[in-house]
Amino acid sequence: MSRFFRKADDSDSDSESSSEEELMSSDDEAPKAAASTTKPAMSRFLRSAGDDSDSESESESESEEESMSEDEEKGKKKSRFLRTEDSDEESDEDEGKRVVKSARDKRLEEMEASGKQMDNALKINDWVAISNEFDKLVRMVQRQQNLAEPVPPFYLRQLQTLESSLNAALAKEKEAKKKMNASNARALTAMKQKVKKVMKEYEIDLKKFQEDPEAFEREFNASVSTEVPAAKPKKKKAVDEEDEGDEEFKTVGKGGKSYQFTPETILKNLQAVQEARGKKNTDRAEQIRILEKLLEVAVTSYQQIRVLLALISARFDYNSSVSSYMPIELWTSAQKEVDQLVGILVRNPKYAIQETTEDYDELVERSPETEKDAIVLVRGSIISFVDRLDDEFTKSLQHIDPHGTEYVDRLKDEKSLYCTICRAQTLYEQTKQDDPLGRVIMRRLEHIYSKPDAVVQALESAVSASDIKPSITFSQSSTKQLIHSLCIHLYKSGNSLLRTRAMLSHIYHYALHNDFHTARDMLLMSHLQESVHSADVATQILYNRTVVQVGLSAFRVGLIRESQQILQDIFATQRVKELLAQGVHQRYQVLTPEQEKAERQRQLPFHMHINTELLEAAFLVSSMLVEIPLLASIENEEQKRKTISKSFRRLLDFADRQVFTGPPESTRDHIMQASRALQDGEWEKCRDLVQGIKIWSLMPEAASVKEMLTKRIQEEGLRTYLFTYAPHYSTLSLSLLSRTFSLPLRGVTSIVSKMIWNEELSASLDHATGVLVFHRVEVMRSHQLAQVLADKLNTMVEQNEKALDQKLGNAANWNDRGDGQKGDKRGEQTQERRRGGERRGGVRGGARGGRGARFAQGLGSQMPGAQRNRG
């Protein structure tokens, strides 16, 4: 039975049994031994007020303490958890004997424990356990280095042991007939790379350790012994110093340096802190504490500016790891200090911060009155602080689970960050610095271009409540005016990258608000599709997001064909998540750790993602409404090769090959079964299946979108019916078609007339009787072959044009279009070439000829109706 469930009777019985065993050995000493064994057992769990005298007598008698057995010592250790007020004297004695270990000693003990585990695993050749313990050991050493502590000799000795063991294991593995299992072999290979990398990192320390291990250990022990008293001074010394009557407060830092915090010594202490910045053994946390105390005693504006610049930089330098994000507490403190610094500069316009200033004596305090030009320049950069705050905020969102409450709590900090960006914009508007002003406006635009109006209004309300406001503020009418004003300012900037990103953000905002035609025209007139492949990765991601949002905008307003052809560009690559920076594509080739880290750093936060399932639903439904009538209009096997959406045709063929079709579960199942129903003329079943897709609820104005889809399904169902059953009719009543597809008679007449005009249907309308009269036209074999040959030639011309455009685009530079002239000229040449191609190779009304400028040249498809829109 466990001792925690033992009753008083059990303890007594145990003690009595032990006393009976001792009676067998000695009759005279038995009563004393029994008494000495029972009383501590009683005092462990059932100590009462009557046992005080016994406990006091035991604590005072030194002879009984010396004769205590190991069992009694364990009992006293256990009694600490159940100690009462009656055992105060015993607790005082325990505190006197207790050994207090520092954090450094605890870390060293943990390292040694990991080393022992590795040694035990080496004996049994368990490289999986060795790899896990080695990773743990490396993390502890890195943590120790972040605290500016030297590398322990034990770690270097362990590295040497691992290297020799690795070489022996690899040599033995090559010669062994029976190979080790796959997991152990992979761990062995991974350990070889890890140890090689770590030994290269500590190459200097290893060289010193190999030359003289004893001297290295003595140096390590000396550094440990000198740092411990300075870190934790004893209470007696502090009391003695107070009794001596020191008037000024001094702080003893690492290495015995003393800091005196007075307004007169601020600049001197600040210079000492800055000289220690970046050195290997610098304690970053101690530097931050010193700078915080310097900020408290700063009096003048110049002192506050200098200390704040150093303090913000120290907070950003605290976390040197690139993979992890800045702690939220440090980020919040840095954001408040940036706000404080901007407020000081706005209220004191005679002080200016610039990245490049003339050299001056940093120990001499400057004031506007002592300067000739009445402007004091301080070396620093507010825009770099703002960029770092924004980047660390994004990095933290990348590492936090988006489905937890921590992510939502972190998103609340965006309002304060947005206010800081707007305050920095006000500062640069006051100082009239164009380049930093453009950068900070771009940061502000990136926070609002993709958000709904309600979120933008919430962010702008916080700015309006601030004491420092920029000149470009929010208008109560809509957010379009705010986005337009910010983009117009960036269009005038001399930085071509800012102009490009501003244009893409502006187009994205128009598409988000269902203004498809404006967004499409701006994208075509910018000619970005011709040179975006030369831009940086972040700009290419923004371009892909903009194109996708334009396609969704076309879908929402009912332009199904345009939406299908725009979205086909990105779905043809089968790398949708990677191109939108919402996931890493699983390639066949293995990425290096650096490449994989760079890929993950480009990922957008979860709240900025475009729902890929909704995007796929819009693309597949659009493809269904375009492809199904095309399939019904095919007359022979040669024309079956003509496809608009290969991905949709592949999914449809796979669905047709299935023997058994169950009820739809996913979005693809709904759309594939709806396509079959549309082919069979069951438009009502097709409507129910499409509207049954649950993902439509995530689309804005879902009710109007479903209503639009119902109308388009009716129209395309009518066209599919006419293509399918035209050979079986001589005449067909328009009123019957109207009742069958629940369309108005005028709408049926319009659809049929358009099909006749486009030569898709060989028929004529008899308005007197309201009948559609079909004509039998026998197409000769030579005519069919000529038609197929014309289609192939048209496809070849389009492929040649695409290859030529890619060649011209690769030859052009990204900055060639700084004034817009070269891009416009190239666009005019392409336009003229395609006009000539349409005049030469127009087939069946020219609908399948050259379609104009493309959205995404790198993705390899073409923009629908671009030539008509430009013309």
> Does position 26 have pLDDT exceeding 70, yes or no?
no
**Mean of pLDDT values over 119-127:** 84
Over the chain, what is the mean pLDDT? 77
C-alpha 661, offset from chain centre: 40
List all residues 6 or more positions away from 366 whose beta carbon is below 8 Å from its beta carbon. Answer: 302, 360, 376
* pLDDT band of 212, cuts 50, 70, 90: confident
Return d(Cα 111, Cα 108) in angstroms, integer: 5
Whole-prediction pTM: 0.64
Side-chain half-sphere exposure of 760, counting CA atoms within 13 A? 20
* pLDDT band of 862, cuts 50, 70, 90: very low
What's the pLDDT at 477? Answer: 60
Tokens of 672: 């594939």
List all residues 6 or more positions away from 393 whose beta carbon is below 8 Å from its beta carbon. Answer: 331, 410, 413, 414, 417
Dihedral, 304, 306, 307, 308 alpha carbons, nearest 10: 80
DSSP state of 4: G
> Does position 851 have pLDDT exceeding 80, yes or no?
no
Is residue 58 within 8 A of residue 72, CB to CB? The reply is no
DSSP state of 251: E
Three-state SS across 315-381? HHHHCCCCCCCCCHHHHHHHHHHHHHHHHHHHHCCCEEEECCCCCCCCCCCCCCCCCCCCCEEEECC
> Does position 640 have pLDDT exceeding 70, yes or no?
no
Return d(Cα 22, Cα 637) in angstroms, integer: 105
Which pLDDT tens digit goes with each residue over 32-63?
444 444 444 444 444 444 444 444 444 444 44
Return d(Cα 209, Cα 195) in angstroms, integer: 17
Q: Is 179 helix (H, G, I), strand (E, B) or coil?
A: coil
> Does position 238 have pLDDT exceeding 90, yes or no?
no
For residue 774, the surrounding DSSP H or E stretch is: strand 771-774
Which pLDDT tens digit goes with each residue over 782-824?
877 888 888 889 889 988 988 888 777 644 444 444 444 444 4
What's the pLDDT at 209? Answer: 81
* CA nearest neighbour of 512 among 555, 562, 553, 540: 553
> Does position 760 have pLDDT exceeding 50, yes or no?
yes
Is residue 396 within 8 A of residue 410, CB to CB? The reply is yes
Tokens of 712: 């388009």
Return d(Cα 233, Cα 238) in angstroms, integer: 7
* CA nearest neighbour of 413 among 437, 432, 431, 396: 396
Return d(Cα 630, Cα 650) in angstroms, integer: 15
* pLDDT band of 834, cuts 50, 70, 90: very low
Return d(Cα 137, Cα 617) in angstroms, integer: 49
What's the pLDDT at 842? Answer: 38
* CA nearest neighbour of 608 among 459, 452, 419, 422: 452
Work out the number of other CB atoms within 10 angstroms of the CB of residue 547.
29
> Does position 417 have pLDDT exceeding 60, yes or no?
yes
Return d(Cα 857, Cα 540) in angstroms, integer: 12
Q: Is 258 helix (H, G, I), strand (E, B) or coil?
A: strand
Tokens of 346: 């706005």
Residue, of 823 and 385, whose pLDDT is higher: 385
> Does position 612 have pLDDT exceeding 90, yes or no?
yes
List all residues 6 or more positions away from 396 whose beta carbon is below 8 Å from its beta carbon. Answer: 325, 326, 328, 331, 410
What's the pLDDT at 852? Answer: 34
Exposed, middle or buried, 834 (CB in 10 Å: 0-12/13-18/19+)? buried
List all residues 6 or more positions away from 327 whose beta carbon is below 8 Å from its beta carbon. Answer: 318, 319
* CA nearest neighbour of 777 among 792, 761, 793, 789: 761
What's the pLDDT at 550? Answer: 96
Q: How far is CA 197 from CA 20, 526, 761, in A?
A: 65, 48, 72
What's the pLDDT at 134? Answer: 86
Which pLDDT tens digit goes with each residue over 531-563?
898 899 999 999 999 999 999 999 999 999 999
Give helix then strand counts, H and E, for the chain: 39, 7
Which pLDDT tens digit goes with each residue over 136-165?
888 888 777 766 677 888 788 888 888 888
**Mean of pLDDT values over 483-492:** 94
Pairing of strands 351-354, 771-774: unpaired
What's the pLDDT at 559? Answer: 94
DSSP per position, 98-126: PPPPPHHHHHHHHHHHHHHHHHHHHHTT-
Return d(Cα 128, Cα 582) in angstroms, integer: 33
Tokens of 49: 């007020």
For residue 766, the surrounding DSSP H or E stretch is: strand 763-766
> Does position 253 have pLDDT exceeding 90, yes or no?
no
Pairing of strands 351-354, 376-379: parallel
* CA nearest neighbour of 798 among 843, 758, 760, 844: 843
